[in-house]
Amino acid sequence: MNKKEPDEIQESEGIQNGLPDSERLGKKKNRRSKKILGVVLILSVLFLAVHFNGVKKKVENVIGPASPALSRFQQFRLITQLEPELTRLMEPASDKTDQTLLSVRPGETPAEIARELKEKQVLSNEDLFLRYLIYSGEDRQLKPGRYIIPAGSNIPEIGKVLTDMGNSLVEFSILNGMRLEEIADLLPSSGLSISPEEFLQTARNYPNDLHPAGGTDLEGYIPAGSYIVARSISVQNFLKGFTDTFNQKLTREVAEGLQRKGLSVAEGVTLASIVSREAMSSEEYGLIASVFLNRYRLGMPFQSDPTVQYAIGWDETEKTWWKNPLTSSDLSIQSPYNTYIYSGFPPTPICNFNFEVLEAVVNAPETDYYYFRMRCDGSPFHNFAETYAEHVANACIKEETASSFEINQ
């Protein structure tokens, strides 16, 4: 057989494979390009993954991990949106300089809450707030209620306030004439975490340097009224809120007015507590105060039933802290609070009262009255008398029962 030359062999093979040399070489180049592109893509993905992990860690270090309820795509999108805004997230959400009361209604959406926060000037960026809520999962944890947003709060802090029921507020109302035990009885159903025992122990042993009149018992120094209080408030801050309110209401004019009446703050508060239990109408606060002031100046005992009721305490038969009517034996009870036996002021106030009562003591008119008793017409008003004879004549029926100022002087 004849041997073929190399060129003939190559040509023969090329024809045999059915491909021209140029096309075959092009396919080799394509395969090489695809390999290079694949490597580039893999490296790019690895680079993006490393970069994203760095961004993710940065975000997590500042605002915590993303909600596990989010898909990977949602996490990726929110993380990349929040990372450039981390500084703004951690700065105060607005320039507002005072706290804000916000009411979250049942069924209210995060967008509606964000809009209200912006209207109240608590937020300057609604969208950033909503992205944070979704990222953290707090958009699903918002609780209806009333909340205080502190001034200078940033977005994560606002979110924490609105998702913790411990931060929600309750309305705590104290009626005029309530003693500490009656206030304590309100606590179990109030929504607050303070026990009656803890309240009484702290209120009866209050720090002298924090007491409005330098005492240690807060009876009389908790102004009646309605208060908005955080559910998680401590007993110390709970009581401090009351004493702060008292101090705010005790203006220089009130303090100086008590001095003009010859009373210290403690004496004025004690007298106001007695008046608040004796009076059934605010119209008579001043007149009743004038009777006790007149008696005090003459050294006469106050002879006030409420002070005896306070000394008796809880009456199991009537299920009340204010036993009524009092018997002759009740009026003989040995207690420094019994103003039928002891002249002058009892050791402490006997109840807590609306501050209007203390203002009425300051502005009590000058009268010649030394006695008063309920009218006989069923109204909430009293008849006032200058003499004991007039006082006896004002009695509705002649019987030997114990009531205010019926003992002969």
pTM higher than the cut 0.85: no
- Measured distance CA(133)–CA(147) in Å, rounded: 17
The reported pLDDT for the residue numbered 38 is 67
The reported pLDDT for the residue numbered 65 is 94
pLDDT in tens, the chain (409 residues): 555 555 554 544 444 455 566 666 666 667 777 777 766 677 665 655 556 688 889 899 999 999 999 998 999 999 999 999 999 999 999 999 999 999 999 999 999 999 999 999 999 999 999 999 999 999 999 989 999 999 999 999 999 999 988 889 999 999 999 999 999 999 999 999 999 999 999 999 999 999 999 999 999 999 999 999 989 899 999 999 999 999 999 999 999 999 999 999 999 999 999 999 999 999 999 999 999 999 999 999 999 999 999 999 999 999 999 999 999 999 999 999 999 999 999 999 999 999 999 999 999 999 999 999 999 999 999 999 999 999 999 999 754 444 444 433 3
Cis status, amide bond into 325, omega within 30 of 0:
yes
The reported pLDDT for the residue numbered 35 is 73
CA distances (Å), 286 to each of 80, 122, 255, 271, 304, in order?
A: 69, 45, 17, 11, 16
CA distances (Å), 80 to each of 53, 87, 172, in order?
A: 11, 14, 45
The reported pLDDT for the residue numbered 31 is 72
Reduced to 3 states, what is the DSSP secondary structure of residue 141?
coil
**Which of 238, 202, 243 lies closest to 221 in space, CA to CA?**
243
- Measured distance CA(366)–CA(290) in Å, rounded: 7
The reported pLDDT for the residue numbered 55 is 85
By CB neighbour count within 10 A (0-12 exposed, 13-18 middle, 19+ buried), where does 109 fall? exposed
The reported pLDDT for the residue numbered 331 is 97
The reported pLDDT for the residue numbered 42 is 73
